[in-house]
Structure 1
Amino acid sequence: MYAERVLSGMRPTGRLHLGHYHGVLKNWVKLQESYPCLFFVADWHALTTAYDSPEVIADSVWDMLIDWLAAGVDPEKATIFIQSRVPEHAELHLLLSMITPVGWLERVPTYKDQQLKLAHKDLATYGFLGYPLLMSADILLYRADKVPVGEDQVPHVEFTREAARRFNHMFGREPGFEDKAREAVKKLGGKNGKLFEELRKRFQQDGDGAALEQARTMLNEAKSVSHVDLERLHGYLEGSGKMILVEPGALLTEAARMPGLDGQKMSKSYGNTVFLREDKDSVVKKIRTMQTDPARVRRSDPGDPEKCPVWQFHQIYSDESTRKWVQEGCRSAGIGCLECKQPVIDGVLAEQAVMCERAKPYEEDPTLLRRIVAEGDDRARVLARETMRDVREAMGLSYR
Structure 2
Amino acid sequence: MSILKSKPVILTGDRTTGPLHLGHYVGSLKSRVTLQHSHEQFLLLADTQALTDNADDPAKVQRNVLEVALDYLAVGIDPDVTTICVQSALPALAELTMLYLNFVTVARLERNPTIKTEILLRGFERDVPAGFLCYPVSQAADITGFKATIVPVGEDQAPLIEQTNEIVRRVNRQIGRDLLSEATAMIPKVGRLPGIDGKAKMSKSLGNAIPLSASADEIRTAVRQMYTDPNHLRAADPGRVEGNVVFTYFDAFCGDQAAVADLKARYRAGGLGDMVVKRQLEDVLQALLAPIRERRAHYAADAGYVLDKLRQGTARARARTEETLDEVREALGLFRFAGDAAA
In the superposition, the TM-score normalised over structure 1's length comes to: 0.77
Q: How far apart, in 1, do the equivalents of 2:114 and 2:232 lie?
A: 40
Q: State which of 332, 341, 354 in structure 1 corresponds to 2:291.
A: 354
What amino acid is aligned across from residue 234 of structure 2 in structure 1? R
Q: What does 1:63-142 correspond to in 2, within 5 Å?
A: 63-119=67-123, 123-142=127-146
Q: How far apart, in 2, do the equivalents of 1:324 and 1:388 lie?
A: 52
2:179 aligned partner: 244
Residue 242 of structure 1: how far off its partner (Å)? 3.0
Asked if structure 2 preserves the Cα contact closer than 8 Å seen for 1:12 and 1:43, the reply is yes
The question of 1:154 aligning with 2:92 is answered no
Taking structure 1 as reference, are residues 333 and 99 closer, same or farther at Cα in structure 2, changes over 3 Å only?
Answer: closer
2:54 aligned partner: 50
Asked if structure 2 preserves the Cα contact closer than 8 Å seen for 1:19 and 1:258, the reply is yes
Q: State which of 213, 233, 238 in structure 2 corresponds to 1:277.
A: 213
Asked if structure 1 preserves the Cα contact closer than 8 Å seen for 2:154 and 2:192, the reply is no
Q: State which of 320, 337, 344 in structure 1 corresponds to 2:281.
A: 344
Q: How far apart, in 1, do the equivalents of 2:269 and 2:158 lie?
A: 44
Asked if structure 2 preserves the Cα contact closer than 8 Å seen for 1:43 and 1:83, the reply is yes
Q: How far apart, in 2, do the equivalents of 1:245 and 1:301 lie?
A: 59
Q: How far apart, in 2, do the equivalents of 1:41 and 1:284 lie?
A: 30
Q: How far apart, in 2, do the equivalents of 1:308 and 1:386 lie?
A: 49
Residue 332 of structure 1: how far off its partner (Å)? 4.2
Asked if structure 2 preserves the Cα contact closer than 8 Å seen for 1:277 and 1:355, the reply is yes
The question of 1:381 aligning with 2:318 is answered yes
Residue 22 of structure 1: how far off its partner (Å)? 0.6
Asked if structure 2 preserves the Cα contact closer than 8 Å seen for 1:392 and 1:398, the reply is no
Residue 120 of structure 1: how far off its partner (Å)? 5.3
Residue 359 of structure 1: how far off its partner (Å)? 1.6
Q: How far apart, in 2, do the equivalents of 1:300 and 1:249 lie?
A: 49
Q: How far apart, in 1, do the equivalents of 2:235 and 2:90 lie?
A: 58
Larger relative helix fraction: 1
Q: What per-residue deviation string (whole Å, max 9, x for no partner) do you get for residues 63-85 of structure 1?
A: 11101111221112210001001
1:306 aligned partner: 242
Q: State which of 190, 204, 223 in structure 2 corresponds to 1:287.
A: 223
Q: How far apart, in 2, do the equivalents of 1:305 and 1:159 lie?
A: 37
Asked if structure 1 preserves the Cα contact closer than 8 Å seen for 2:237 and 2:271, the reply is no
Taking structure 1 as reference, are residues 348 and 161 closer, same or farther at Cα in structure 2, changes over 3 Å only?
Answer: same
What amino acid is aligned across from residue 358 of structure 1 in structure 2? R
What SS does the aligned partner of 1:98 have? helix
Q: State which of 163, 168, 172 in structure 1 corresponds to 2:167.
A: 163
2:337 aligned partner: 399
Q: How far apart, in 1, do the equivalents of 2:125 and 2:304 lie?
A: 36
Root mean square deviation, CA, Å: 2.2
Taking structure 1 as reference, are residues 120 and 331 closer, same or farther at Cα in structure 2, changes over 3 Å only?
Answer: same
Q: What per-residue deviation string (whole Å, max 9, x for no partner) do you get for residues 161-205 of structure 1?
A: 2212222222x3xxxxxxxxxxxxxxxxxxxxxxxxxxxxxxxxx
1:25 aligned partner: 29
Asked if structure 1 preserves the Cα contact closer than 8 Å seen for 2:84 and 2:313, the reply is yes
Taking structure 1 as reference, are residues 121 and 83 closer, same or farther at Cα in structure 2, changes over 3 Å only?
Answer: farther
2:306 aligned partner: 369
Asked if structure 1 preserves the Cα contact closer than 8 Å seen for 2:7 and 2:39, the reply is no
Task: Give unmatched runs, 5+ long, in structure 2.
Answer: 339-343
Asked if structure 2 preserves the Cα contact closer than 8 Å seen for 1:150 and 1:255, the reply is no
Residue 286 of structure 1: how far off its partner (Å)? 1.9
Asked if structure 1 preserves the Cα contact closer than 8 Å seen for 2:112 and 2:160, the reply is yes
Q: How far apart, in 2, do the equivalents of 1:245 and 1:2 lie?
A: 17
Residue 116 of structure 1: how far off its partner (Å)? 1.6
Asked if structure 1 preserves the Cα contact closer than 8 Å seen for 2:11 and 2:150, the reply is yes
Q: State which of 198, 204, 224 in structure 2 corresponds to 1:268.
A: 204
Asked if structure 2 preserves the Cα contact closer than 8 Å seen for 1:168 and 1:244, the reply is yes
Q: How far apart, in 2, do the equivalents of 1:339 and 1:124 lie?
A: 46
Q: How far apart, in 2, do the equivalents of 1:160 and 1:247 lie?
A: 8
What SS does the aligned partner of 1:301 have? coil
Asked if structure 2 preserves the Cα contact closer than 8 Å seen for 1:328 and 1:334, the reply is no
Taking structure 1 as reference, are residues 334 and 399 closer, same or farther at Cα in structure 2, changes over 3 Å only?
Answer: same
What SS does the aligned partner of 1:292 have? coil
Asked if structure 2 preserves the Cα contact closer than 8 Å seen for 1:290 and 1:310, the reply is yes
What amino acid is aligned across from residue 46 of structure 1 in structure 2? A
Which structure is larger by alpha-carbon Rg, 1 or 2?
Answer: 1
What amino acid is aligned across from residue 151 of structure 2 in structure 1? V
Residue 16 of structure 1: how far off its partner (Å)? 1.4
2:40 aligned partner: 36
Asked if structure 1 preserves the Cα contact closer than 8 Å seen for 2:212 and 2:289, the reply is yes
